[in-house]
Amino acid sequence: MFNSLSDRLTTTFKNLRGKGRLSEADVDATIREIRRALLDADVALPVVRGFTGKVRERALSAEVSAALNPAQQIVKIVNDQLVEVLGGETRRLQFAKNPPTVIMLAGLQGAGKTTLAGKLGKYLAAEGHTPLLVASDLQRPNAVTQLQVVGERAGVPVYAPEPGNGIGDPIAVAEGGVRHAVEKQHDIVIVDTAGRLGIDEELMQQAADIRNAVTPDEVLFVIDAMIGQDAVRTAEAFADGVGFTGVVLSKLDGDARGGAALSVAEVTGKPVMFASTGENLGDFEPFHPDRMASRILDMGDVLTLIEQAEKAFDQDEAEKMAAKITSGEDFDLNDFLKQMASLRNMGSLKKMIAMMPGAASIREQLDNFDEREVDRVEAIVRSMTPAERTNPKLLNGSRRSRIARGSGVTVTDVNQLMERFGQAQKMMRQMRGGGGGMPGMGGMPGMGGGMPGMGGLPGGKKSKGKSSSSKKKKGKSGNPAKRAMEERGEKTKPAPVQDGSAFGSDEPKDAFDPANLPDGFGKFLGR
């Protein structure tokens, strides 16, 4: 969503590189570009004015003029201000001292409250809680049914005594949900409330009544990050009419300008607590202002990437793999399948690579990358026999042809996969021998090669030929006489060998006469 803003800011900072000192004109030009980038990203005008004013004030101060690298200091200042605009510090949920903790969701219709209720429930269940979803949206058609389906997919129970579709009292359902949670010993209650296509008095009154009835510990305002400046106006209206303790950004994976979503925390004074980054129930994460600022400035989000990897990768499997490497065993295709499964658990490969620093430079390649390539690779490997996965050297031409037919790909695809897998094996051996390189990571964009089986994100270049350091130096001769001549700088001459004589005989070639052979040898010469 913030790709356009990220590209504009990155280009602006590139223009400052190489300057040992920044004049006031340089700072003014940079501030103008930052202002245009923020306005183009749909950031609210008051937020833009405050942001650029603080950046300019700090950019003209002594901290920049005395810096060894003024351009990097400007980037740091912009990063600090972005973190401040996004809320400053990460805000966690406040749990009740006496369970259950009641969390109420509010927002306009279409913002994604019902789906987000399931995502939040799944997230909290993974944290060790026992959440309960309460269907208090009795107005929107099939809202209750949708919450039941979402709850079933998320593995979270749903309290829905009323069918909805305009039937039932949402306030009574919310109160009944809290009582049911106490009886069934659920420690968290998530109340899904009704929304409208626009702000009206009936919506505000109903939300306020539910809040007064269940006295929630947290009221989360769910806002569609794609609706532009209306996001700010809607947030202000809910803050005045109902009040909320935190914001959840939904549809953050969209391609619309999401600058208005960046303005909500600054305008309302309430922190952004969670972000929904996709359609799957697992595409949900806590909102970290510092990490989001780093993503916008194309500095990556390695901490989130590490956290996702820790959740996805099995510790026992990792220890087994480490033991296998240290014991001298080769990385085989069975291990490769396990790595593929772990990558799937981490989510979208595009999103993972986008969290790497400098990912903006290969955004076009990422957009062109087909996530289904992972499925094709897995199909190729699963078309092999157990013996072929353990010992890939068995894969001759006929076997590769059979595998290609079984997986619905071409023989060329199988050959390319095996070539990249061979590179991964080689890197594994280098790791075992103390060399560098992470197995399978050679295909990260710009690093050459291709992630084994990933088809390689376009743009990587393979090195050709051998470096001069890999050439073997000529050793000294083991013959003392020759070595002495070499040390004196004299060249040794090979012994003269006559034509036709393998042992250097002085006799000419035509001196040999077969007629002089003893009797009986003629049969060996064909005579």
Query: What is the DSSP secondary structure assignment for residue 21, as one 8-state letter?
Result: S
**Residue 113: closest CA among 159, 85, 146:** 146
Torsion of CA 16, 22, 25, 31, to 10 degrees: 50
Q: How far is CA 139 from CA 29, 91, 191, 210, 220, in A?
A: 52, 32, 14, 14, 20
Tell whether residue 196 is among the known ligand binding residues: yes
Tell whether residue 6 is among the known ligand binding residues: no
Tell whether residue 88 is among the known ligand binding residues: no
Structure tokens at 152: 């079933």
Give first-to-last CA distance, the chain, whole Å.
92
Is the CA virtual torsion 133, 139, 140, 141 positive or negative? Answer: positive
Tell whether residue 112 is among the known ligand binding residues: yes
Tell whether residue 250 is among the known ligand binding residues: yes
Tell whether residue 366 is among the known ligand binding residues: no
Tell whether residue 323 is among the known ligand binding residues: no
Looking at the chain, how many residues does it have?
527
Tell whether residue 358 is among the known ligand binding residues: no
Tell whether residue 110 is among the known ligand binding residues: yes
Tell whether residue 198 is among the known ligand binding residues: no
Q: How many CB atoms lie within 10 A of CB 223?
A: 27
Of all helices (H) and strands (E), which one includes residue 406?
helix 397-407
Tell whether residue 73 is among the known ligand binding residues: no
Tell whether residue 520 is among the known ligand binding residues: no
**Residue 94: closest CA among 219, 267, 210:** 219
Residue for token pair 């620093």: 357
Structure tokens at 19: 């300057």
Tell whether residue 108 is among the known ligand binding residues: yes
HSE-up of 446 (CA within 13 Å, CB side)?
11
Residues sharing a CB contact under 8 Å with residue 287, sequence separation 6 or more, in sequence order: 86, 87, 90, 91, 249, 271, 272, 273, 274, 275
3-state SS track over 145-184: HHHHHHHHHHCCCEECCCCECCECCHHHHHHHHHHHHHHH
Annotated binding-site residues for GTP read 107-114, 192-196, 250-253
